[in-house]
Each structure stands twice: as C-alpha cells, then as structure tokens.
Amino acid sequence: MLSELKEAVFKANLELTRSGLVILTFGNVSGIDRRRGIVAIKPSGVPYDSLKAEDIVLVDLEGQVVEGWLSPSSDTATHCELYKAFPGIGGVAHAHSEFATMFAQARREIPCFGTTHADLFHGPVPLTRLLVEAEVAADYARNTGRAIVERFAGLDPQAVSAVLVAGHGPFTWGRTPVEAAETALVLEQVAKMALGSLVLEPRLAPLERHILEKHYLRKHGPDATYGQKKEKGHD
C-alpha cells in the first residue's frame, strides 16, 4: 500500500515539471495514507530528472522520517499541518509557479474574474498574512502551515483548494497527489488570466456572484451536471 502511495507521489511530482510549474528543484508534492498516518513526500533538493519512486520519503504527521535514506522536502512540516487540519485532503502540492507567485509576492489574493476560475474555486484564492520574525526563527515551515490553517478559519478547504502564502508562493491540495498537482496547474492559468485582466482593466470588478455560483455548483454541487453520468448496472 505504501509502495503505491510512493509511486503516486512520484508521478504527481513529475506532473509539476511536465506542466512547467517548477524549475530546477523548486516545488514538491506529497500524499497521505490516512489509515496509517503516513505522508509520502519528495526528497529535498533532488532534481526531477533523476527522481525515482523509491526516493520518495515517508514521514509521520510530525514530519519525522519513518522510511527513506534521503532528507524530506524542507516544506514537509507545512504539508503535515495541512493534513492535520484538513481531513478531507489526500495530496498537497507546492510550486513557485510564475503567475501565482507574482500574486503571493504582491500580497494580493486572486479575485474570481471569470468562469475558468469559478469552475474550480468557489471564490477568491485567499492570501495568508506574513509570518513575524519569531515564527520564522522558531519553525518556519510548520508556522507557514499554521498560517494557512489560520487563514482558512471560516473557509471550506474543499471549495477553495488553494492558498497564496504572502511573499512565498502557492500551495494547492486535492483528494489525491495528482489532483493536487492538477489544481496547481489550474491555479497558475487562473493567476495568469487574472493578471492580464487587471492589465486590460485595472478597475475590473469580480465576476457577479450568480455566475460564479452557477459555474462552481454545476461541477461540484449536489446536483452537478458536468461530465458523464454512469448508467445503472454499468461501470
């Protein structure tokens, strides 16, 4: 079972580089075995072109290595904090993708300007506060995760599966590691379109709420109509 998790995390990490979301060794994807409380994550500083499934490191929910000969990602504690706070997620991705990171560095959330955004995110992509000096000095990665969790007080992490960490970059999540990586790709496209829209119309207002609701709920609501429905008796 854990070998399957490592394989899934390995493939999801490759999706980040195939999608052009990372350069060099920037970025990481993890996945979790909820029953065992074990997280699989990319090792720190290992180039994607030499990464193998067996290199994926297993840690517990406190970030302690339980299997692997390489050091886990420096963002491991951030991932662990998200898994502990958001029980419905099964994968987390982090990339310094160009356009989403621009918004994080500008310390601006990404408003919902159009239906592409509304198809995945039920509202703006939120921005965390900056960490204070003591938080950075004490446990930077863990406190980054805690700042994300703090920002999601009153928000549904299933409805908005992404966040911008102020001055840093985006984190995304999903039901699986691959879904988390795919969300990172959509987030980057949404950020690119949002920036272009603001260049064309700096005073642009967010998309009207009734259109946002229509597009989000037709894919994710209880009566979703998007996609193919299975017939009874058929797979």
Q: Where are the beta strands (DSSP E) in 20-161?
A: 28-33, 38-41, 57-60, 65-67, 91-94
- Collapsing DSSP to helix, strand or coil, 146 comes out as helix
- Residues 6 or more apart from 159 whose CB is under 8 A from it? 121, 122, 123, 216, 220
Instruction: Please report, as a single letter, which amino acid is at residue 199.
Output: V
For residue 210, the tally of other CB atoms under 10 A from its CB is: 7
Please count the residues of the chain.
235
Q: Tokens for 121?
A: 């995110």
Catalytic residue among 33, 48, 55, 119: 119
CA 154 → CA 130, 134, 142, 172, distances in Å? 19, 26, 21, 18
Catalytic status, residue 83 = no
Positions marked active-site: 119, 226
